[in-house]
Copies of this chain bind each other. A is one copy, B any other.
Amino acid sequence: MRTRTFTLSLLLCITFLNAQESILGFTRENAKKQKTLETAFEAKLDASNLDEWMQIMAAEPHWVGTEYGEKNAKWIQKQFKSWGYDAKIETYHVLFPYPKVRLLELKGPTSYKAKLTAVPVEGDEFTAQGDALLPSYNAFSTDGDVEAELVFVNYGIPSDYEVLDKLGIDVKGKIVIAKYQGSWRGIKPKLAAENGAIGCIIYSDPADDGYGRGDVYPKGAYKNKTGVQRGSVMDMPTYPGDVLTPGYGATKDAKRLDRKDAPTITKIPVLPISYEDAQPLLAALDGAVAPQSWRGGLPITYHIGPGPAKVHLKLEFDWQLKPAHNVIATIKGTDFPDQWVMRGNHHDAWVHGANDPISGMVALMEEARAVGELAKKGNKPKRTLVYCAWDAEEPGLIGSTEWVEDHKKELQQKVVAYINTDGNGRGFLGAGGSHSLQAMVGEVAGTVKDPQRGVSIKERRIAVDMVRGGTEDFELYALGSGSDYTPFIQHAGIASLNLGFGGENGGGEYHTIYDTYPHYKRFKDPEFAYGVALANTAGRITLRLANADMLPFEFKQWHKTVSGYLDGIMKQTEKMRKEVEKHNTMVDKNMFELAADPKKPFLKPKKKEAIPYLDFTPLQNELAALKISIEMLSKMDVSKVSKEKRNSLNKKLIQAEHLLTSEDGLPRRSWYKHQIYAPGFYTGYGVKTLPGVREAVEEKNWKEAQEQISKLAATLKNFDKHIQEMNGML
């Protein structure tokens, strides 16, 4: 195959030519150079750096506003400078609550005072730092002092409240206790408050996150009975970032909301607890026995209540503005200095954060160090590279969000793509992001070796998908939320990726005092082999985006994916229609009542509103039109495109993702502009694709669904116009 005539038809086309020879977006000649560069890059990666740096950065707790956090930021800046980067610290001033009072008592029928403290364990000195450790709490819980009967609400997600409704159990005026998991944690107090509860307790059930998963720390990696997951409960699906400065940077002199007007602070007090503290509370409940699927791993019968368990929850926070120090390090591009390829990982942690985020941070730094060394030796990138270490990610993606809001216009003009990482472990590549980048990421994944099995990380990813019943296609997952890509893709409309390894590094240390260096070394990625693999993967992606002749966006896979989303919504609507029809027939025939045990609580279900037929044709037609435009674009012979035209095309490609946004954003949350991906309003981190339409359907808001179909169709039409303009330039 080496002798056949080279064309650039591979560009923007999913049918790769001989992968040995070609790289998406590169001329054959430049592909060769790029391969040499990537080989040199990989050779420079050194696992011992990751190990050493983790020991430095995770030595002490370093949440936003701490001395150690600032020390880390300055140290990171210094490192970047030493590698030849122009590195600065950009600081924002963001509201951050520190827990002053945390009180949880069972007042009846038995009494118990929650300990709220995880124990130090043998062999891990970091867990014995006592008062230096951040007390366990949920950031952006409101202050509160409430006493009421307790109700167990399973995971506290919408389907759980439907079950409670059927059982005739109301949480109004009660304090709910919900298990962690099933949704992002912030959904639990949000829904509890919407349903009238006055307080919310969240605990880690041992079936989900404790001895039910594996041996507990320190014998094994999993959560012992005293471990507590910290975490933000800010209403991030409305907007993330500083609660007082929605949509703009929290600079020193920025205009701020009054705290009482901040819409993303919870409406009710919320506190996370351990399963040791949860057991006496749950054991004191009576009333209906929880449905089978609600029951956890504690050695008790799970009851729902309400009561007789009565609890007192008192929370007070010290609400202060704290400095969030983002480190921004740049190497200017030789050919296209105003085209930026961005990489980022946060540096703040809830406690020591060896895994979250330092394992990702050290991989980013090692990648940057190798890239910097290559640049020093003359292999400077054609486009500008920007490496970022974000602060205040944990309380609500605050550092990155404020920075993106502050620099939004410039970023939208200049950024080719943002590549995010976060905590990293042993196992399989997990890659999510803009599907226009799927082909490129798949190609890169084919070049990176799995440290354990010797095959490519792509082959291992596909193997595990196949074993789990999936297909042989390499696919990016769609981005919801949960890390710093959110302001880039969902707010600014910048093509983004999120990368990490995992699946063989299970544990219960997440956001606890047990996320330490010894825990990481024993259970996560002991040789930092996957840390190096992450640096290798993200570095190759970064370098390809930096040096490509034609930016490696590919839209046929994008189209297939988006068409699949629409298909899914249409099928879901039909399924809902059939379910409602069956439900209503069964209500008419009194089947639910006849099937119910007369000795158990039962409310006869009501008939549901019939599902109307939505007109999806505007979307079908726009996708059909897009298919033609994309087919045409994919067929272009780029070798016949002049360098000048290529540069113009690249500028259009940089803009493409932005065309998928709408300036007025999603209903009731205008901060979220992207029309293809958003975190779910009632899932939190979990993604909703085609969110305007999908969430309206799920909420059975048919008027809005039809409006959102029109709106999305208009967005797709604009996107099609953009693609057609590119076709016209050829």
Chain A residues packing against B (C-beta within 8 Å):
206, 211-216, 220, 222, 289, 295, 297-301, 427, 450, 452-453, 455, 459-460, 462-464, 466-468, 503-504, 586, 589-595, 597-599
If A504-B599, A586-B467, A599-B504 touch, whether A455 touches B594 (CB-CB below 8 Å) is: yes
Residues of B within 8 A of A595 (CB): 460, 463-464, 466-468
B591 and A463 form a contact (CB under 8 A): yes
B594 and A464 form a contact (CB under 8 A): yes
A295 and B212 form a contact (CB under 8 A): yes
| 23 A–B pairs (Cβ distance < 8 Å), ordered by A | A211-B299, A214-B289, A214-B301, A215-B289, A215-B301, A297-B297, A427-B597, A450-B594, A452-B598, A453-B593, A453-B598, A460-B595, A462-B591, A463-B590, A463-B592, A463-B593, A463-B594, A463-B595, A464-B595, A467-B592, A467-B595, A503-B597, A504-B599
Top 7 nearest A-B pairs by Cβ distance? A463-B594, A464-B595, A467-B595, A463-B591, A463-B595, A504-B597, A299-B299
Provide the bound-state CA to CA distance between A427 and B211, in Å.
37
Provide the bound-state CA to CA distance between A503 and B594, in Å.
13
Write the nearest CB–CB distance from A328 to chain B, whole angstroms.
Answer: 38
Write the nearest CB–CB distance from A295 to chain B, whole angstroms.
Answer: 6
Which of A213, A594, A597 lies at the interface centre, i.e. has the most chain B CB atoms within 10 A of its CB? Answer: A594
Residues of B within 8 A of A597 (CB): 427, 503-504
Residues of B within 8 A of A211 (CB): 299-301
Provide the bound-state CA to CA distance between A689 and B295, in Å.
35
Residues of B within 8 A of A295 (CB): 212
A459 and B594 form a contact (CB under 8 A): yes
Provide the bound-state CA to CA distance between A295 and B207, in Å.
9
Which of A211, A212, A455, A598 lies at the interface centre, i.e. has the most chain B CB atoms within 10 A of its CB? Answer: A212
Residues of B within 8 A of A593 (CB): 453, 463
Residues of B within 8 A of A220 (CB): 301
Which residue of chain B is the closest to A469 with respect to CB atoms? B582
B301 and A299 form a contact (CB under 8 A): no
A466 and B586 form a contact (CB under 8 A): yes
Residues of B within 8 A of A590 (CB): 463
Residues of B within 8 A of A591 (CB): 462-463, 466-467
B599 and A206 form a contact (CB under 8 A): no
Provide the bound-state CA to CA distance between A427 and B600, in Å.
12
Residues of B within 8 A of A450 (CB): 594
Provide the bound-state CA to CA distance between A464 and B299, in Å.
31
Residues of B within 8 A of A460 (CB): 594-595
Write the nearest CB–CB distance from A160 to chain B, whole angstroms.
Answer: 19
Provide the bound-state CA to CA distance between A211 and B302, in Å.
8
Across the interface, A298 reaches (CB within 8 A) one of B222, B299, B598, namely B299
Provide the bound-state CA to CA distance between A214 and B462, in Å.
43
Write the nearest CB–CB distance from A587 to chain B, whole angstroms.
Answer: 11
Write the nearest CB–CB distance from A147 to chain B, whole angstroms.
Answer: 27
Residues of B within 8 A of A214 (CB): 289, 301
Which of A289, A591, A592 lies at the interface centre, i.e. has the most chain B CB atoms within 10 A of its CB? Answer: A591
Provide the bound-state CA to CA distance between A460 and B591, in Å.
8
Provide the bound-state CA to CA distance between A452 and B599, in Å.
10
Residues of B within 8 A of A463 (CB): 589-595
Which of A216, A299, A452, A455 lies at the interface centre, i.e. has the most chain B CB atoms within 10 A of its CB? Answer: A299
Which residue of chain B is the closest to A216 with respect to CB atoms? B301
Across the interface, A594 reaches (CB within 8 A) one of B206, B298, B453, B594, namely B453
Provide the bound-state CA to CA distance between A463 and B595, in Å.
5
Excluding A220-B301, A450-B594, A464-B595, 12 further A-B contacts by CB distance (< 8 Å) are A206-B299, A212-B301, A297-B299, A299-B299, A453-B598, A460-B594, A463-B592, A463-B593, A463-B594, A463-B595, A467-B592, A504-B599
Write the nearest CB–CB distance from A474 to chain B, whole angstroms.
Answer: 14
Which residue of chain B is the closest to A599 with respect to CB atoms? B504
Residues of B within 8 A of A467 (CB): 586, 591-592, 595
Residues of B within 8 A of A289 (CB): 214-215
Which residue of chain B is the closest to A504 with respect to CB atoms? B597
Which residue of chain B is the closest to A465 with respect to CB atoms? B595
Which residue of chain B is the closest to A464 with respect to CB atoms? B595
Write the nearest CB–CB distance from A709 to chain B, whole angstroms.
Answer: 32
Write the nearest CB–CB distance from A505 to chain B, whole angstroms.
Answer: 9
Residues of B within 8 A of A452 (CB): 598
Provide the bound-state CA to CA distance between A639 and B513, in Å.
86
Write the nearest CB–CB distance from A424 to chain B, whole angstroms.
Answer: 16
Write the nearest CB–CB distance from A375 to chain B, whole angstroms.
Answer: 36
Provide the bound-state CA to CA distance between A592 and B467, in Å.
7
Provide the bound-state CA to CA distance between A215 and B591, in Å.
28
Provide the bound-state CA to CA distance between A650 and B463, in Å.
63
